[in-house]
Structure 1
Amino acid sequence: MKDMAFTPVLRADHALPEQYRISKPMDQREYLCNGTIKNWTGPRQDVLSPICDMHNGTIQQRRIGSYPLLTEQQAIETLEAACQAYDHGRGTWPTMSIAERITHVKGFTGRMKERRADVVKLLMWEIGKTLPDAQKEFDRTVDYITDTIDALKDLDRVSSRFVIEQGVIGQIRRVPLGVVLCMGPFNYPLNETFTTLIPALIMGNVVIFKPPKLGVLLHHPLLEAFRDSFPKGVVNTVYGKGQRVIGPIMKSGKVDVLAFIGSSRVADILKQQHPKPHRLRCVLGLEAKNAGIVLKDADLDLAVKECVLGSLSFNGQRCTALKMLFVHKEIADAFITKFSDAVDRLKSGMPWDEGVQITPLPEPNKTTYLTELIEDACSKGARVVNKDGGVVRQTFIVPAVVFPVGPGMRLFSEEQFGPVVPIATFSNIEEPMNYVIQSDYGQQVSLFGSNTNLIGEIIDTMVNQVCRVNINSQCQRGPDTFPFTGRKDSAEGTLSVSDALRVFTIRTLVAAKETEANRQILKTIVTERKSRFLSTDFIL
């Protein structure tokens, strides 16, 4: 293979814009507990960027900071703070009116927007996200908060009336569940953490959140905003090794909701640690091996464009990425030629470089793992079909298009979560359909073609296997108003702007027989505002 032009090393002649420089490491010592930003004097974990430096002729990942390695003592301290703030549903936050909670969340959002530049810069340095993608992640998160507020107003208006059924008067509202443990993923460490944290908060729950191992520092600029925007104990942060800090929290049995986005292996460990499994509600976003199926009558240019985006956006490090492509044999040669050419044209570089699309990978030893997948496939009859595909330089790997991939190869079944694209061919549509049916995962699938009879037939099978079927487009999460979930081992619970409000709450009602005395009691409570639950007020 030819040598690579790009190596993820900052050199003296590299044009690094001033606004994206990290002048000195960010050594975080703070964590938020019970409304106080506390100082940690114990050991810390170094944070290494996927971007490298040259030191005395040796290439090393740049150290950009560190974060606290808390102990069980601090973990339990944050848990007790959360429990005290919730106080079995009697705390200030869970009993606060919806309008008041919205005001607090709006205040936080304003403070959050002031730190946009800091968060965006750290997204680039910590996980190698490109500048446009980092900006989009931040802005999309702000939009998500705004949309959540609007959705809650709609929900509140629907819930603000009494219903009378079979001689019973009732009012049905959604109430919080209690203490929520939020753990987000490294690939969207801000957005996907907040898609659980914000709806949990705004519905009256209290939160403990642990940032992912990669993407920790970018939350630091928001600690003061959390502290100043919410009552003490409502938001708490915990840092460190999961076994040491999350294990004790789960084993306490005091967590009511686990909101976790990551691997099913870790999710199973966390769930099993909870001593009261029937009390624990889980909201889980787990693995996926989304397939793209390119039919013989597909628009090749469109299919190639969408499959490149779907498989290699943010280096393929997305749960919604297309991780297995099936192409009809009659068009396979033409598709692979166009697809490989398109992949080779993707620009590699530093996250802040203009037009860059492929960047260094943040996960330790990720390039080694991906190389092993490629070598396994090649040892069993596949080959890398694009120029320089699979060439590794430190934390960077050239996107590899591997063909033909089939059963028995690790790439056929393992979620690669990186810039390696396996392609298989088929002559009978049952082949890719059976792949999806037999898969352990059931998140999404993409179909490319124009035969409405065939597409309709595939849809009717796939909707009972996955939770979103995309026609002539890549798999994706958005728009955030659409439901986002998965079948099998891919998810538990449904997330969207409106669904998240429901998943972190439970429907509760107050009911009374329709007698004159009860009517008067309810009327007095409502008109004299003696209850926050029983109310006909609503937010415009």
Structure 2
Amino acid sequence: MSTTANFTGTLESHFVEESNIPEQFRVQPLHQREYLVGGEIKTWDGPVTEVYSPLYIKQNGQLKKKLLGSYPLGTEKEAMEALDAAVAAYNNGQGEWPTMSVKDRIACMENFVYRMVQQREQVVKLLMWEIAKSYADSTKEFDRTVEYINATIDALKETDRQSSRFEIKEGVVAQIRRSPLGVVLSMGPFNYPLNETFTTLIPALIMGNTILFKAPKHGVLLHSYLLKAFQESFPKGVVNTIYGRGAVITPPVMQSGKVDVLAFIGSSKVANDLKKRHPKINRLRAVLSLDAKNAAIVTQHADLKVAVSECVLGSLSFNGQRCTAIKIIFVHKSVAEAFTQLLSQAVNNLKYGMPWEAGVQITPVTEPDKPAYLQECIRDAEANGARVVNENGGATAGSFVFPAVVYPVNPKMKLYHEEQFGPVLPVVPFESIQEPIDYQINSSHGMQVSIFSNDAEEVASLIDPFVNLVSRVNINSLSQRGPDAFPFTGRKDSAEGTLSIADALRAFSIRSLVTTKMNDANKKLINEIVKNHNSGFLSTDFIF
């Protein structure tokens, strides 16, 4: 038997019989039949979509798909019903939620967080089973999401404090606050189905918008545990869920013209299709986080150990299934061989296994068609002069794909251009530093770049061109989203709008102001309104 076949067998051995899974990590099928519309949790009695885990179960020596459950396969009818509920709750800005004081909206959100935390164990477990994320990372995703919500609450308090005063300019007195935009269609990604989804949904919600929420294709069932929390924390119609095939239920929603904001994290192709369907495109706001092909640049002056460590983490955290992952590595020819050898060793030292295994770093990939696609990319690279450098790189067993270091990659290959979104590390040798710069200039993406060098003059010479090509330049470190207080966006096809905690609040709102001329009658009028708390907008209340 060949070495590769032996290793494939080793990979496959990590899929075990259900009885060998630790009790605390086992799941029973969850057949969801509920959806939230207009403040009511309704029961679905129509067709359903079955959910299978990327974690296979071994039965009688064979790998079998694990059925996790099912959820409603809704239609255009249910989607439009949910949309109408969101529209009614917003009521042209006159509804209970958009006119509610910031203090009261915060109280609703704090109630939601309290109820959400009670579902931590169930949500974390389904994160593991639905997308094959390690237990440690699943726990981190849940906890980080709770931290994000609390930080958003704090940021809104600070914003409101700054707005709780009047400004006087040129004889005109004004109070300036942020107002909601309307109905938001919120759609998140499968790789962070809770955290990334909530980085748009939560700020949109707390700013007074009403929500039409479609869970990602992978990571649907975990949200079922939060339906009641949404229902019991917010006024009816403020949060509404839709289920079904995106190609069926989202086009009519957009074509209605009733969606005011599209909050979408996914592919630029889908985002463009949705935007084009809106009949009043100039009225549609879009907050988008899309494709990326983030590059790392390792120069001859780099500390190779640091570069390797950061590139491995940046490329292979959650198997490279992140928009912020490093997806192509440019290395100066003088250090390319040494770097590639160190990179291969580091990759092969990673622990692979099931999400519940302690210290596991490589788990099965989420998308069922991903192993075949990655194999296709590797074969294409080999046909055009590259090779898999690390031992067993690219080996597959079921949904496992062992990381592959592919070298030397060139512009003829898919891996040079396409976002692989998986555990394949393309390494491109270069002679002139202008080569990676030209790559970024010609790329349709512009999210981040990581520069590895200890030469101050060299680093400075790269910072200046790249800050105008991407949104974030990382020096001797991996590309990433956090900290959440920092701006997260991209150029070209990679993003629209900016998502940090504070930026997201601004993205889902608009500055509105009330003004009057400074005279005795108007001063008396404004003082009376403020003193008697007649207006939620015109107020000097200070939120602690």
Whether TM exceeds 0.5 here: the answer is yes
Moved more, 112-121 or 507-516: 507-516
* TM-score (normalizing by structure 1): 0.98
| Aligned residue type for 2:251 | G
Q: What residue is the counterpart of 1:512 in the other structure? A: 516
Aligned partners of 2:17, 2:197: CA distance in 1, in Å? 36
Show CA shifts across 1:354-411 (max 9, x none).
Answer: 1111111121211000000000010000000001111111111110000000111110
Work out whether residues 124 and 142 of structure 2, in 8 Å CA contact, stay in contact via their aligned partners in 1: yes
1:216 to 211, 214, 220: 220
Give the C-alpha shift of residue 179 in structure 1. 0.4
Corresponding position: 1:235 with 2:235 = no
Report what 2:331 is aligned to: 327
Alpha-carbon contact 2:348-2:390 (below 8 Å) kept: yes
Which residue of 287, 293, 300 corresponds with 1:296?
300
- Which residue number corresponds to residue 264 of structure 2? 260
Is 2:533 the counterpart of 1:529?
Answer: yes
The secondary structure found in structure 1 opposite 2:470 is coil
Correspondence 1:392 to 2:396 = yes
Matched residues in 2 for 1:160 and 1:355: separation?
49
For each residue in 1:17-44, what CA deviation from the matched residue of structure 2 results, as whole angstroms up to 9, or x when unmatched? 111101x311111111111111101110
What's 1:305 paired with? 309
Q: Within 5 Å, which residues of 2 pair with 1:9-158?
A: 10-12=15-17, 15-22=20-27, 24-55=28-59, 58-158=62-162
Q: Distance in 1 between matches of 2:14 and 2:389?
A: 27
Question: For 1:6, which of 8, 11, 14 is the aligned residue?
Answer: 11
The unaligned stretches of length 5 or more in structure 1 are none
Query: For the residues of structure 2 that align with 1:6 and 1:280, how far apart are their CA atoms?
Result: 48
Residue pair 2:314, 2:478 contacting (<8 A) in 1 also: yes
In structure 2, the partner of 1:405 is: 409
- The alpha carbon displacement at 1:184 in A equals 0.1
1:277 corresponding residue in structure 2: 281
C-alpha contact 2:295 2:448 (8 A) present in aligned 1: yes
* SS in structure 2 at match of 1:65: strand
Residue 464 of structure 2 is matched in structure 1 by 460
Partners of 1:253 and 1:275 within 8 A in 2: yes
For structure 2, the 5+ residue unaligned runs are none
- Using the TM superposition, give the Cα deviation of residue 13 of structure 1 relative to its aligned residue in structure 2, in angstroms: 8.3
SS of corresponding position for 1:6: helix
8 A contact 1:9–1:59 mirrored in 2: no
Q: Is the 8 A contact 1:9 1:52 kept in 2?
A: no
CA–CA separation in structure 2 for the residues paired with 1:423 and 1:12: 38
Deviations 1:219-272 (A, max 9, x none): 111111111111110011111101221111111100000000000000011001
Instruction: Find the aligned partners of 1:335 and 1:28 in 2 and give their Cα distance.
Output: 49
Write out the 4+ residue segments of structure 1 that deviate beyond 3 Å after TM superposition.
12-15, 54-58
**Alpha carbons of 1:30 and 1:203: their partners in 2 closer, same or farther (altered >3 Å)?**
same
| CA spacing shift, 1:90–1:58, aligned 2, 3 Å | same
Return the offset for 1:8: 6.9
**Deviations, residues 398-448 of structure 1 (Å, cap 9, x unaligned):** 100000001111100100000000001112110111111111000000001
**Could you report, residue by residue, the CA deviation over 1:278-332 in whole angstroms, capped at 9, with x for unpaired residues?**
1110000000000000111111111110000000000000000000001111111
Give the aligned CA root-mean-square deviation in angstroms. Answer: 1.1
| Cα distance in 2 for residues equivalent to 1:14 and 1:67 | 26
Moved more, 55-64 or 133-142: 55-64
Task: Tell me by how many angstroms 1:60 deviates.
Answer: 2.4
Deviation at 1:346, TM superposition (A): 0.7
Alpha-carbon offset, residue 513 of structure 1? 1.4
Alpha-carbon separation, structure 2, partners of 1:243 and 1:6: 35
Aligned residue pairs total 539
Q: Aligned AA for 2:26?
A: R
**Which of 311, 319, 322 is matched with 1:318 structurally?**
322
Report the identity percentage. Answer: 59
Distance 1:328 1:426 in 2: 5
Amino acid at match of 1:450: N
For 2:16, the aligned partner's letter is R
Measured in 2, the distance between the counterparts of 1:8 and 1:241 equals: 34
- Determine if contact 2:74/2:244 at 8 Å carries over to the other structure: yes
